[in-house]
Amino acid sequence: MSSKDSNINNSESYLIPHNDILEYLTIRVESVYTFRDRYFENHILEDAIHKNDHVNKLLEENLKIFEETETAALQNNKAKYYYLKGRLLNVVPKYSKEAENLLSKAIKLDRKLVEAWNELGECYWKNDELKKSINCFEGALKERKNKISLRNLSMLSRQDTSNSKIDYVANVEKGLNYAKEAVQMDPHDGLSWSVLGNAHLSYFFGVQQNPKTLRQCISAYSQAEKDIVARTTPDLHYNKGITLRYREEFEEALKSFNQASLYDPTWDPPKKREFQLIKYLNDIKELVSTKGKLKTKRLQSLLNSIDSKQLGPYLEDTKNILTGENAKLVPVKIHELKPELNERKVLLGKVVCSVRNEDTVPFTFCLIDETGTCIVVTVFNLADGRGVIIGDSVAIPEPFVTDVDFEYRALRYNFRLIRVERPLLLAVNGKLIQKHQAAGVQMSIFKKCD
């Protein structure tokens, strides 16, 4: 326990006369939330493993104070007392039936108690009663517009999945609008910025995959990190890691997953994501260097079978396939590719292996050209089961190249990567991929306190 753990048991600082017992209890409750939300202002990261225990200890101490003051507080204002005690019990991630009962009582006594509506919504959410949770946050908004209801409705709207694509898109757009409203109400609230980042991410995956949207997402997370409360929430770093993983900024993604684990060592998803990404990168590194582990005879057979006829539509002018302009693409070898976009160029090669990816997105494979040089290719927006197989010829127009080169946990990653976001432009075995082979991408976005 750190030297600053004395902050846990500082009840004496509040034991001063109060004319209003409910004002005193309010101060007590808010002190518990401040301790939880600003824990790392007074504790080092190594203390993170003890955070929940410290919060629970402080919760128990304050519940005793509520018991001691219950009679006087109920005589003053029953609704407010039930709300405050329910809010206190709600400070931990675990669902509390007692908190639900107290908050329900508070609302029955005072329908205009917005804070109680919001707390009850959180309570139902912890118990996976999402419809009831939504009703609570909407009930709060009917009484008063507030950022807490807005950002929670943003998250819940995006979790309300539907079999209908139209309904799903509507839910995602609704969630984005709620998040924007929350930020507008308080531009300095990091939690609202974090939710906005998640909303942009959902929009990118579920509605329109515009690179600008991903930039907005990262920008929102950066704003969130300016706030100490948001910056020390593990889910911010986890979701940022998901975004960076999709952008193939692998080093930063790994750091984000690790940061999420540091803020909550008991939470498994960030550790799992970090492990999976490291394995994915290790597999890429090995398969590129060994050219898919193919035997020499098999590899030579593939090299001999590469034929310019397999360029398919890219043998001719590519009007209406790329930019709508007449453009004869020039065939290039892998070693001739430059970083980023290679305009008016086309790469032809043979698939030597696929790379296992736990997420299934992107579909990843290794490609060799006629010189025997190998490169990794990641293809987004492919429908399940529609990837290429060993021996397929693949022509990639205007390839976008990234040179991956970094070190993480004493391991070095150094390879070239081609990223394909529009699979319909790929020519496989001389023919363009068909529309039914493409699909939208969906990703998991986390709210840690679920």
| Residue 442 maps to a domain | no
Distant-in-sequence, close-in-space partners of 246: CB < 8 Å, separation ≥ 6: 214, 361, 441, 443
* Band of pLDDT at residue 372, cut at 50, 70 and 90: very high
Do 169 and 86 share a structural domain? yes
Q: Are residues 54 and 31 in the same domain?
A: yes
Check residue 322 and give its pLDDT.
56
Same domain, 328 and 411: yes
Domain enclosing residue 421, as ranges: 291-437
Give residue 1's pLDDT. Answer: 38
Report yes or no on 111 lying in a domain.
yes
Confidence of residue 348 (pLDDT cuts 50, 70, 90): very high
Task: Work out the angle at residue 406's Cα, subtended by the Cα atoms of residues 401 and 407, and round it to the nearest 5 degrees.
Answer: 155
Asked whether the beta carbons of 181 and 137 are under 8 A apart, the reply is no
Give the pair of three-digit tokens for residue 349: 């090669």
Predicted confidence (pLDDT) at residue 72 exceeds the cutoff of 90: yes
Kindly report the average pLDDT of the chain as a whole number.
Answer: 90
Distances (CA, A) of 41 to 34, 47, 206, 221, 235: 10, 11, 37, 20, 18
**Based on the structure, what is the number of domains in the chain?**
2
Asked if the structure places residue 443 within a domain, the reply is no
Confidence (pLDDT) at 206: 81
One-letter amino acid of 415: F
Euclidean distance between CA atoms 210 and 212, whole angstroms:
5
The pLDDT, as a whole number, for residue 318 is 65
Which range (26-40, 79-93, 129-143, 311-325) has the least confidence? 311-325
Q: Which pLDDT does position 3 carry in this prediction?
A: 37
pTM of the model: 0.87
Question: Residue 449: what pLDDT?
Answer: 39
CATH number of the domain enclosing 54: 1.25.40.10
Query: Residue 32: is its pLDDT beyond 90?
Result: yes
**DSSP 3-state helix, strand, coil percentages of the chain (rounded to 5)?**
60, 15, 30
d(Cα 339, Cα 162) in Å, to the nearest integer? 40
Least Cα distance to 151 among 128, 117, 123, 185 occurs for 185
Summarised one tens digit per residue, pLDDT across range 241-255 is: 999 998 999 999 999
Closest CA to 84 of 63, 53, 111: 63
pLDDT tens-digit profile of 207-241?
A: 876 778 888 999 999 999 999 999 999 999 999 99
pLDDT at 143 over 90: yes
Residue 447: pLDDT band with limits 50, 70, 90: low
